[in-house]
Structure 1
Amino acid sequence: MMVELRYKAQPGLDVLKRSYSFSNPNHDDYVIFYNRFLCTFDWDQDPDPETDVNQTLRDVYFVFGYNFQTAAGTWMTYARWYEEGKDDWANYEEFPSTLVPDGRKLAISYGWDGDHPDITEFEAGGRLFDDTGDPRYAIGEGGSTALASAEFVSSTYAGFAALHVDKATNDHADDVTQPSSIIGNMSIYNVWDSDFPGFATEWDWAASGTRQTVLDQSGWPEDASAQEGDYPFQAFGPYNLVKGDSVVIVYALGVNGLSRQLAIEKGLEWRAWYRGEAGATFDDAAKNALLATGKDSLFQTLDRALWAWNQKLNIPDPLPAPDLTVRSGPNRIDLEWEDLSAVGDFDTATPDLGGYRIYRKRGNFLVDEDSELNPEGTHLMWEKIADVAATQTTYTDNNVVRGEAYHYAVTAIDRDGLESSKYANRSELPAFAFEPGKETASNVRIVPNPFLSGAGDFNFSGQRANTILLVNLPPYCTLRIYTVTGDLIKTIEHTSGSADDQWDLITASNQFIASGVYILQVENARNLNHEPIGGSIHKFVVVR
């Protein structure tokens, strides 16, 4: 996918920016940014120059920088060190390309999560620990609710590096000596004030030729909180520009690190060591060594970006993700998708379909919502449930629980094993398995009954944790819910023809119900032929 942005900027530049991202799973962890700066001396809405077009802009530098915020634990520890990421480090290193051995060395500015000296206990009364990687100890803003699953929530390395820098306005070959200056990390307050420490102005820093590393960062290596944020910058230049001159600078922004599953599994191992469980040896040092492998993964990511740019972005293209339809069904959920058997390979035009892969997520559409996290790391995640042949365009999921919400995605696999995007056709709206409506209302049940708000896995998943399921209903009926004193608090018109309906325990006045005994009245009941049948009355209990 390519996104293009164009705008004017002082002191008279026409700026063209293009971002390139890829669905190829080997190239989906970076974005390439193409930047062209054309000297026009025009910076407002009309097309006329705003200043003398015969002048020369001399010793111009272009500066790029990022605040990576690799600490996903920021939200968890918000109350302690705010959102500037007070335990982050940033650095710069050169990396000789293995995929483009005769190309430029990658000058990589990157950031990662470090240890914050103020966070000393994972659990109250526990031993001192190193919080690099932010083992999860809580959920909610500021860690308001304890949840010691210990997964490493800040295991990502992020960075950027130039892929091409014009030598001059009249020489568009790659200047492999660029960038001209690099600052490994700056405080958020320096950024706000455009203050480059040690230099009178930003231009003085850009022209200095300095290349700062983490060794120059305040607090290294013991106290990442000594400098707030991870803001590395790179400068490119100098250039002299007259009207009509242009400069192109291309860089890639990438991320990599531990897989989510590995961060969960190793977090549990680390927690066992922290708690002193017999035989547990995965200590702080082992944790930090594992997290540090994310740097090598990031460098390989940016090396792939350099290779892609040198290939003129002509990388292998997966098949498109098929259009997908998901239907709720009686005790099942049915999937149907587009037939891609006649779709040709992007480069050869020859049909290339090898098969399809089906993924499923139970509960909420998004992962990592607080309601779906638990101390044992068995979080609800997207998972592969089937690989099917290229001739198949339907699938019935019978391994479902009535009342639970399900989301699906289907990818296409070509004959070389290249998979289409897992994100392009995910079904955001939930599907539910249901049972056809009953011929009688006498066997209606409320599930769970009693409803216990703190029952965890015994309730439904995710955002539906505050929901009860009404089962064995007639196909069509009116459901009225009363307090034990006879106050009508909710009316539900059940018109789906199924035996199931649900209630989120919120009244018609938009209030959560309190603990107590409630009455469900089933009336105006009709069978599948819309013929009247008898109603019924049932009790259920809610405990908050």
Structure 2
Amino acid sequence: MKRIKQTTQLSIILISILFVFLSSTEVKAQFTNVWMSAGSLHSWYSEIGSELEEAFVRRQQYGMQWPAIYKAQDMQAARGFWIGAKDFTDEQGNNFPYKVVTIGPRNPMFYAAYPVKMELVSKFDAPIVTVDGNLTYEKSVTIDRVEDTLKADRMIINVVNTQLGVTMERKIYQFSQQYHDNYIVYEYTFTNTGNTDGDPEIELPNNTVNDMYVFWTYRNAVNASTRFVIGNSTGWGKNTMNDARGDGVKPDPAGEQFRCQFSWHGFTGEKDVSYDNIGGPIWSLNSNALLYNASDDTIGRLGATQFIGVLTLHADKSATDKSDDPAQPTHTSYLDSDDDKFLGGRDNAFNIARMTTQYEFMANTGHMSPRHADLVEPSGDFALQRTNPNLGNTGGFSFNNGYGPYTLGPGESVRIVMVEGADGLSRAEQIRVGRLFKTGGITAVDKDRIVIDSGRVKLFQTFQRATDNFNSGWNIPQPPRPPKTFEVQGLGDRIALSWSVDASDPNPPTGFRIYRTLGDYFRDYTLIAELPADARSFDDVTAIRGFSYFYYITAVGADQPGGPGTPPGKLESSRYYTQTYEPVTLKRPPEKDLSKIRIVPNPYVIDSDFRYSGRYDDDKISFFNLPTNCTIKIYTELGELIKTIEHKGSGDNYWYNVTSSNQIVASGIYIAVFTDNDTGESKIEKFAIIR
């Protein structure tokens, strides 16, 4: 993707003026985005330094998916990051009483921040997972570097310069160990480098940054799967409830004494259903909701029981005192998500009045009282909440954290460590409690107490585990590494699974477990095999012809005594490393007569968003009635060879519409040449692909 870079203050000013005069629309700049997806919580991160609203895909909810194996669990609507200081003089000699650089939550008129590094580091190479010889994955991940001494499984290193002359480095960590895989760690270091643009030259080598504040805003919407069940406004968080701990506003209960803010799916009167919506009960599905949910998911399951929040683990007291300051963050607030301070089209790093307003908001707000949840429901019993959480505004509320003030001399830095995590009812509990509510077995208030109390307790358990991990120096017990490869092949009489292992694994497996589900990858899985450490293959002979299957394999470790945030017992590698996302079936017997070969469907219409369509057998072209040993070569209409498939065994094979270089093909007419390698006989067929 194109990286936008400005090199001088003059060019920035001219571009800013040009935008003002030519258009009032927001700039939709494209930046490199990278997925963090080793654990059960998946989210994307942008090289610009924050995850802006609709900056990856044009969808209001995208990111912070938990549990990510299920469809449309997105809870992130927008993120924003600001950094500001007082009495700032730029390299041109222009003095600003307040200088604030904003990255989100909306797209600004131009960017006063300059990404200089975006790197994904992994402890080991990503496993290669194939179904019928084709790569299978949900999210594309490209590892830039392997570092086997990494304590986390993966780390994103993102470096961004700002016009303030402060360079932000954020290291984003994720662990895949099953008791720690639902939070993501953010380690920020802010250094006064004096670099105010995207090149290596230092513009302000002797500048002191005075009274610096760093500030984040979080717009949550729990969650995408229930948006068109409950009501469209839940998709931008009009119903989001926000609460806080550790702000000193009031005493916190035992077990909840953290520095954090968090959100959940609150009651709203702006709903399309007649029943109480806390927890997001799914009773029926309209055409829009079917894009995000399985067609049979109408038993009353609670679809939005997650709690999502941000925990502060450490904040330097100053540039010279690196001990943790328990008074940080100094700012915990909530603000209308559509407030003028957040509207990106008006962001301007040269607008003194606007920057003054933003800086004073960061510096002077402090800890807002009452907390948002208490303002909405003063009783504190949030199962009774029936006031709309948006309190009459147009977009609901975002919560905000601010740290400072810090003064940084040339070369000085401060470090802040945070965790963003999610937890809540399990899928089994969502079903059990939701069914009881739909059938009248429990009241709405009973259901709401289960959702809210259980979700909050589980989120704080996650925060405690993250705290234990941090305090240990990130030295939690480790599971074995996942298999290096995992191959799933549909044959005529069985589905064959095979795998290889990482010989350098410091925690070698004592065995393997294979899990399977039927129909779609997000269904509930059953353990179908436990195998010894020397096993490298397994034949699933219980599969039934005509059904689609999905699998994952885990490497299982030896019994361990427990450790930080980890109970004793066996640890398994993460399912997300070896999960299959394409269906596999028992194949037809081979056919000797090439005249019977069929290409299905023809023409083939590509569904550009099939991952949310619920039709996982529609994303490939099928070749039926093949001979036992044949080669399939696919050409464009101009005769360019784009894919070769070597087929053996059954009468079926599939092509997932990608070239040999893994590029998705365009619309057009294609030619398939089938050659029986035993007889030398060939057959030519044309087919069409339509986007």
TM-score with structure 1 setting the length = 0.71
Q: Is the 8 A contact 1:363 1:462 kept in 2?
A: no
Name the SS for the 1:159 alignment partner: strand
For residues 211 and 232 of structure 2, what CA distance do their matches in structure 1 show? 44
Q: Distance in 2 between matches of 1:229 and 1:203?
A: 22
C-alpha distance in structure 2 between counterparts of 1:85 and 1:73, whole Å: 13
Task: Give the equivalent residue in structure 2 for 1:390.
Answer: 533
Select 1:214's aligned residue among 367, 372, 375: 372
Distance 1:395 1:139 in 2: 41
Instruction: Give the C-alpha shift of residue 501 in structure 1.
Output: 7.9
Match of 2:450 among 287, 290, 296: 290
Q: CA 1:465–1:47 in structure 2 vs 1: closer, same or farther (change >3 Å)?
A: closer
* 1:94 aligned residue: 246
Report 1:67-106 matches (<5 A).
67-73=219-225, 75-77=227-229, 80-81=232-233, 83-94=235-246, 105-106=257-258
- Compared with structure 1, are the counterparts of its residues 104 and 135 closer, same or farther at alpha carbon in structure 2 (3 Å cutoff)? closer
Secondary structure, aligned partner of 2:196: coil
CA distance 1:437–1:44, shift in 2 (3 Å): closer
Residue aligning to 2:302: 152
How many residues are matched?
443
Tell me, in whole angstroms, the C-alpha distance in 1 between the residues paired with 2:405 and 2:624: 73
Matched, 1:43 2:186: no
Q: Which amino acid aligns with 1:329?
A: L
- The match for 2:575 among 422, 440, 448 is 422
**In structure 2, which of residues 138, 147, 156 is the aligned counterpart of residue 3 of structure 1?**
156
Residues 222 and 234 in structure 2, CA contact (< 8 A), matched pair in contact too: no
1:309 to 463, 470, 482: 470
User: Are the structure 2 counterparts of residues 158 and 119 from structure 1 closer, same or farther at C-alpha, using a change threshold of 3 Å?
Assistant: same
1:59-458, aligned counterparts within 5 Å?
59-73=211-225, 75-77=227-229, 80-81=232-233, 83-94=235-246, 105-119=257-271, 121=273, 128-136=274-282, 137-141=284-288, 148-190=298-340, 192-193=342-343, 201-208=357-364, 209-212=366-369, 213-215=371-373, 217=375, 221=385, 222-226=387-391, 227=393, 228-273=395-440, 281-292=441-452, 293-322=454-483, 323-339=485-501, 343-345=505-507, 352-365=508-521, 367=522, 380-416=523-559, 417-437=570-590
For the 8 Å contact 1:135–1:150, the answer to whether it is kept is yes
**2:194, 2:207 within 8 Å by CA — same for their partners in 1?**
no
Inter-CA distance 6–502: structure 2 relative to 1 (3 Å threshold): closer
Q: 1:105 to 1:50 in 2, by over 3 A?
A: farther
Separation in structure 1 between the aligned mates of residue 256 and residue 213 of structure 2, nearest angstrom: 20
Q: 1:440/1:40 Cα in 2 relative to 1: closer, same or farther (>3 Å)?
A: closer
C-alpha contact (below 8 Å) 2:626/2:652 kept by paired residues: yes
Helix, strand or coil at the partner of 1:109: strand
Aligned-pair identity (%): 26
Work out the CA distance in 1 between the residues paired with 2:680 and 2:210.
Answer: 87
Matches of 1:254 and 1:387, distance apart in 2? 31
Task: Report the Cα offset of residue 268 of structure 1.
Answer: 1.9
Answer with 320-329 or 415-424: which moved more: 320-329
Q: Secondary structure at the match of 1:267?
A: helix
Q: 1:41 to 1:438 in 2, by over 3 A?
A: closer
| Distance in structure 2 (CA, Å) of the matches to 1:353 and 1:336 | 16
In 1, the alpha carbon distance for the partners of 2:463 and 2:586 equals 44
Measured at CA, do residues 58 and 500 of structure 1 come closer, stay the same or move farther in structure 2, by a change above 3 Å? closer
Q: Secondary structure at the match of 1:203?
A: helix
Provide the C-alpha distance between the structure 2 equivalents of 1:7 and 1:411, rounded to a whole number of angstroms. 37
Query: How far does residue 434 in structure 1 lie from its aligned partner after superposition?
Result: 2.2
In 2, Cα distance between equivalents of 1:498 and 1:178: 64
**Letter of the aligned partner of 1:149 in structure 2?**
I
User: Contact conserved, 1:437 with 1:528, CA < 8 A, in 2?
Assistant: no
Matches of 1:95 and 1:56, distance apart in 2: 30
Structure 1 window deviating more from structure 2 (13-22 vs 215-224): it is: 215-224
Following TM superposition, by how much is the alpha carbon of 1:115 offset from its aligned partner in structure 2, in angstroms?
Answer: 1.3
Whole-Å Cα distance in 1 between the matches of residues 442 and 159 of structure 2? 51
Q: CA deviation at 1:342?
A: 7.8
Q: Which amino acid aligns with 1:12?
A: G
Give the distance between the partners of 2:558 and 2:177, measured in 1 at CA. 14
Q: Match of 1:311, as an amino acid? A: S
Structure 2 partner of 1:481: none
What letter corresponds to residue 246 of structure 1 in structure 2? Answer: S
Range 260-269 or range 320-329, more displaced: 260-269
User: Structure 1: how far apart are the matches of 2:487 and 2:321?
Assistant: 52
Q: 1:61 offset after TM fit, Å?
A: 1.2
- Taking structure 2 as the reference length, the TM-score comes to 0.57
Q: C-alpha offsets along residues 127-152 of structure 1, whole Å, 9 cap, x if unaligned?
A: x5211111113154267999633211
CA contact (8 A) 1:156 1:258 kept: yes
Contact 2:583–2:616 (CA under 8 A) maintained in structure 1: no
Show CA shifts across 1:193-222 (max 9, x none): 489xxx982332333332341246468742
**Distance in 1 between the 2:359 and 2:230 partners?**
35
Does the Cα contact within 8 Å between 1:219 and 1:225 map onto a contact in 2?
no
C-alpha change, 1:438 and 1:44, in structure 2 (3 Å) is closer
**2-side partners of 1:168 and 1:391: how far apart?**
54
Larger Rg: 1
Offset of residue 324 of structure 1 = 1.1
Q: Is the 8 A contact 1:74 1:85 kept in 2?
A: no
Contact 1:71 1:88 survives alignment (8 Å): no
Preserved CA contact (<8 Å) 1:321 1:411: yes
Amino acid aligned to 1:129: Y
Whether contact under 8 Å (2:341, 2:358) holds in the other structure is: no
Distance 1:203 1:472 in 2: 69
Write the distance in 2 (CA, Å) between the matches of 1:77 and 1:261.
20
CA RMSD of aligned residues (A): 4.1
Which digits, 9 at most, give the CA deviation of each residue in 1:6-31, with x for residues without a partner? 12012111211101100111110001
Aligned residue for 1:18, secondary structure, equals strand
User: By how many angstroms is 1:306 displaced?
Assistant: 1.5
Paired AA for residue 527 in structure 2: K
Distance 1:353 1:92 in 2: 41
Deviation at 1:3, TM superposition (A): 1.0
Q: CA deviation at 1:428?
A: 3.5
Q: Distance in 2 between matches of 1:529 and 1:48?
A: 65
1:358 deviates by 0.7
- Assess, with a 3 A threshold, how the Cα gap between structure 1 residues 187 and 241 changes in structure 2: closer, same or farther: same
Partner residue, 2:22: none
The Cα of 1:259 is off from its aligned counterpart by 1.0
**Structure 2 CA distance for partners of 1:73 and 1:404, relative to 1, 3 Å:** closer
1:431 to partner: Cα distance: 2.5
Structure-1 residue corresponding to 2:18: none
Distance (whole Å) between structure 2 residues aligned to residue 240 and residue 74 of structure 1: 45
SS across alignment from 2:439: helix
Q: Which amino acid aligns with 2:488?
A: V
**Partner Cα distance (1:415, 1:64) in 2:** 41
